Structure 1
Amino acid sequence: MDEHKADFVADEKSSPSDEYRQPVSGDVYVHDHGAETELRRLLSTRHLTMIALGSSIGMGLWLGSGTSLTSGGPAGIFLGYFLAGSMIWSVSHSIGEMAVMYPLPSAFVQWTGKFICPSASFALGWAYWFSYCITIANELQGVCTVLSFWTDAVPIAAWITIFWLVIIGVNVGAVSFFGEIEVICSTIKFGWIFVVIISNIVISAGGAPNHDAVGFRYWNAEPFTNGFKGFLSVMPTCIFAMAGSENSGLVAAETGNPRKAVPRAIGSIWLRLSLFYLLGSLMVTITVSPTNPDLFGGEGTNASPFVIAYRDAGIEPMAHLMNAVIFISVLSTGSISGYGGSRTTMGLAHLNMAPKQFKTADKTGRPWYGLVVTLLLGGGLAYLNVNNGAADVFGWFSNLTSLFTLFGWGMICLSHIRFRRAWKVQGRSPSELPWKSWTWPWAAWWGLSWCIILIIVEFYLAVWPLGEPSSARTFFANYVSVIVIVVIYLGARLYYRGPWYVDLSKVDLDDQRRFYVDHDEEKAPKKGFKRVASKTIGFVFN
């Protein structure tokens, strides 16, 4: 151990979770002053990788892309996902360095308190918790929209109640059960996207039963349906669609060896961005007209553009299969939001920013207090869909969530910047970091800059919305998130007082830190087929 580790002696009795935990190659038992909680490290690298791959694939992509296609046109939606993708890719690399070093239950909330200031941490934590609740509500109303493709006979309130209970059931099960469920759902999403890409290329080329070779017809006709403003209006939905990718930072607290699991999950980001979002949105633009009335938010069936592509091509069975995959995806994302919300409240409690009861978890690692409050509020908000249009509710919730998400992504990037600054100010070398991102420093600055720019853009859209007259109701419906964040932050400032930023020269960089051995155990070299398979898997996920 080096001089910074001298005060941290292995102490198997100091951690409430040591009795449930086995030694992991590359890991060291240490008394790490708070990094250990009552959460159990029951999730593996496989869980973290698959949750990172599938956690953000839900209503935003499968359904929200319909409203984006209508508002922004083929070029608008594709460029929107490209920009949002570059942002979350940057944010994920910032998460990677800090999650390996500080695998904490609410991750970026606690990092913000450590490297920026307690007031910002307080505002971020409660804003993000509410964002998770909103996402649960939005995904539940998304379930109703998906099921209405098959039948309208069941009342919306009944569907919400049934699948609210399903989400509750997944979250109150053991953490390992939750992890396995999400692995299965993510595998389905990941596998199906290949089917979507190949089949939509065939449809666009005229190989479907209708023999209509669409090609880039809609790109040539009108790439931007509402000009530059239409492109800007696409961004909230694109941000909402990618919200959730940062959950890999939360899951790190419940993995046995974050130094191994987190970089692998971060390394899969490029695969998710290119396959799910860029290629997925491109397939929509070459098969579905932006003026199709059946798109989600239109006057017709309010279906997903992916479903419409198969149905209009005359491949009805594929339309039903696509709708089933969307159903699984939406339900999965709602479940992950329950997980994220409960862990966020636990982190807030460890910072003394939430009631102390939220610190506790049972012997299997379930933080009951956080789960109950998060799932109750999230499910309750879903009933707004009973007396309002699905597309209207989606618009409200996605705008609110996208602003909370931009604030969160910005704080993650700023925390990373200040973490690296503190590391340098205190005379430490980057070589001492357990994992280093090759994107430092430009990616962190790129992500932070665009978060600020898009918050300003959303203010512009709230004042002068696309296709609607300006009104106080529209402004508050679309921008109240920022007002809430500012009010919470200023209230916290009055309570905490002190400097606007923590003094980086005095930050205890070893508090809440997790230490690792200098190298993992060497493994026997693989031969033959195993060697080829290992290299292939490494290429895909690293």
Structure 2
Amino acid sequence: MESKKTGDVSSIHEEPVDHGADTDLRRLLSTRHLTMIALGSSIGMGLWLGSGTSLTQGGPAGIFLGYCLAGSMIWSVSHSIGEMATLYPLPSAFVQWTEKFVCPSAAFALGWAYWFSYVITIANELQGIVTVLHFWTHAVPTAAWITIFWVVIIFINIGAVTIFAEVEVVAATIKFGWIFVVIISLIVVSAGGAPKGGAIGFRYWNSMPFTHHFKGFLAVMPTCIFAMSGSENAGLVAAETSNPRKAVPRAIGSIWLRLSLFYLLGSLMVSITVSPKNPDLFGGSGTNASPFVIAYRDAGLQPLAHMMNAVIFISVLSTGSISVYAGSRTTMGLAHLGMAPKQFGRADKIGRPWLGLIVTISLGGGLAYLNVSNSSANVFTWFSNLTSLFTLFGWGLICLSHIRMRYAWKIQGRSPVDLPWKSWTYPYAAWWGLSWCIILMVVEFYLAVWPLGKNTSAKTFFANYVSVIAVLIIYLGARIYHGGPWWVDASTIDLDAQRRFYMDHDTEKGRGKGVANKAAKVMSFLLK
């Protein structure tokens, strides 16, 4: 934990208030909270609904390979997060790591881009709730549904952070438990054990593995990236975790389970039970339902279809709530870097950053009303394309920050064994993640110029690629304002500033935590 400069040795002996990363945040979350939030934070509209659009565009093989590639990227990114979040558990995590190890201009662009991506995700999840509820009824106006659940998300986030965390633990438990039901039941459906439909097997893989050839596979990638966006939120939660050295590695260790169960097996189940030509798929001409719901409905398993829709509803609401949390913490980190008004850096006595919460919730909810006058599938496509590009930018800078952190660590004569947690994947995973982020940003430029199934137009290009243009403008503007070198000089980086120091007997509760905090204060004082 970073310690404030006291200027008085006697102050070291005072009982510390356990603030997160020397902010007004409180370290109230446990390993259980961080692990479950890491497991469930990105399971929302992208997987449950967006996989329908991906299946139509890319076909069974296209969607499965898309999730394999995106999964390898977020697995790589997560290991970079693991090392840095354990060493530097900061409120806006990757924004502050970028400022420390890359350059302030890149951090400024990343912070505001990521904050806006959280705002977009809130809007996308709120309009996704409307799509989910339309499976049951069209009697309630779209604007009314958006308003109701906008208020629900507000109430989840205005309470203590422990209330938010417990809600997310419950939601993640439901998602995680239900995926086992999905896998087993859809295998039975594919094998012909359902009341209707007969055996399917790999019929769709054999007849149409790629619906639009290689371009269709490329078109799947933005939705796959959007579906996995949010996995990096474990880095943000670390600042409010009592013992990041224990909690973060456990959360990172759960990544493979989420990737394999939710994304890889989940997309495989969809590809063997639902035709890519089904008009009811999300984005099609029919009911715009989730492919998982369609699989149960067409198999004559109507009760499971309703239960699946209920789980999707919980997932979408949960992801919207997490985006409010992440957006408010991002503005707090920006304020501590002097890149946002200082009022955003303040929180009340129980750790609620009110100004960040209010602005993030208000703008995110307001954008959701775009769904009132546009189709949900169109709004989803706009928002997911914007978010996927912001996500690629963020993932790339996380990997780059990790590479630069290790480089600074090395040239300043420090050994990797001194790290509180060391990833066995370095440097290969970090370079893998960074390389693919760059490649896919080029791919999305190609799709913006020559979109799948549409004519080239300025409107389509800007709708799909405006986020990259915005990031470049913000970055160059910050470069002009800040000036200085393009890179932070690795030899001058203060590797102990903002660092969390640990003792071998750190615990999450009781006297051990107080002793560890006092020891950290003593160590920081001596270093200064």
Do both proteins adopt the same fold according to a TM-score greater than 0.5, normalized to the shorter chain? Answer: yes
Q: Which runs of 5+ in 2 are unaligned?
A: 508-528
Partner of 1:268: 254
Question: For each residue in 1:350-404, what CA deviation from the matched residue of structure 2 results, as whole angstroms up to 9, or x when unmatched?
Answer: 0000000011000110000100000000000000000001000000000000000
Paired AA for residue 514 in structure 1: R
Partner of 1:529: none
Question: For each residue in 1:117-156, what CA deviation from the matched residue of structure 2 results, as whole angstroms up to 9, or x when unmatched?
Answer: 0000000000000000000000000000000000001110
Map 1:166-177 onto structure 2 (within 5 A): 166-177=152-163
Distance 1:47 1:229 in 2: 40
Does structure 1 residue 87 correspond to structure 2 residue 73? yes
Contact 2:243 2:506 in 1 (8 A): no
Contact 1:15 1:36 in 2 (8 A): no
Match 1:41 to one of 24, 27, 44:
27
Paired AA for residue 66 in structure 1: G
Partner of 2:164: 178
Partner of 2:16: 18
Partner of 1:508: 494
Partner of 1:401: 387
Partner of 2:186: 200
Paired AA for residue 259 in structure 2: L
Paired AA for residue 149 in structure 1: F
Partner of 2:139: 153
Partner of 2:462: 476
Match 1:238 to one of 224, 227, 240:
224
Distance 1:241 1:520 in 2: 35
- TM-score by length of structure 1 reads 0.91
Task: After TM superposition, give the deviation of residue 349 of structure 1 in Å.
Answer: 0.3
Task: After TM superposition, give the deviation of residue 517 of structure 1 in Å.
Answer: 1.5
Contact 1:17 1:39 in 2 (8 A): no
Does structure 1 residue 335 correspond to structure 2 residue 303? no
With over 3 angstroms needed to count, the CA separation of the structure-2 counterparts of 1:451 and 1:392, relative to structure 1, is same
Match 1:136 to one of 119, 122, 130:
122
Paired AA for residue 16 in structure 2: D
Distance 1:11 1:313 in 2: 71
Match 2:48 to one of 57, 62, 86:
62
Partner of 2:421: 435
Distance 2:187 2:12 in 1: 57
Match 1:187 to one of 173, 188, 201:
173
With over 3 angstroms needed to count, the CA separation of the structure-2 counterparts of 1:12 and 1:129, relative to structure 1, is farther
Partner of 1:459: 445
Partner of 1:344: 330
Q: Which runs of 5+ in 1 are unaligned?
A: 22-33, 522-542
Partner of 1:225: 211
Match 1:117 to one of 88, 103, 110:
103
Does structure 1 residue 379 correspond to structure 2 residue 381? no
Does the residue aligned with 2:194 lie in a helix, a strand or coil? coil
Partner of 1:311: 297
Distance 1:497 1:505 in 2: 19
Contact 2:274 2:295 in 1 (8 A): yes
Q: How many residues align?
A: 505
Contact 1:17 1:40 in 2 (8 A): no
Question: For each residue in 1:234-271, what CA deviation from the matched residue of structure 2 results, as whole angstroms up to 9, or x when unmatched?
Answer: 00000000000000000000000000000000000000
Does the residue aligned with 1:18 lie in a helix, a strand or coil? coil
- TM-score by length of structure 2 reads 0.93
Does the residue aligned with 2:453 lie in a helix, a strand or coil? coil
Contact 1:15 1:37 in 2 (8 A): no
Structure 1 runs (4+) greater than 3 angstroms displaced? 7-18, 518-521
Contact 1:175 1:365 in 2 (8 A): yes
Task: After TM superposition, give the deviation of residue 212 of structure 1 in Å.
Answer: 1.1
Sequence identity percentage: 79
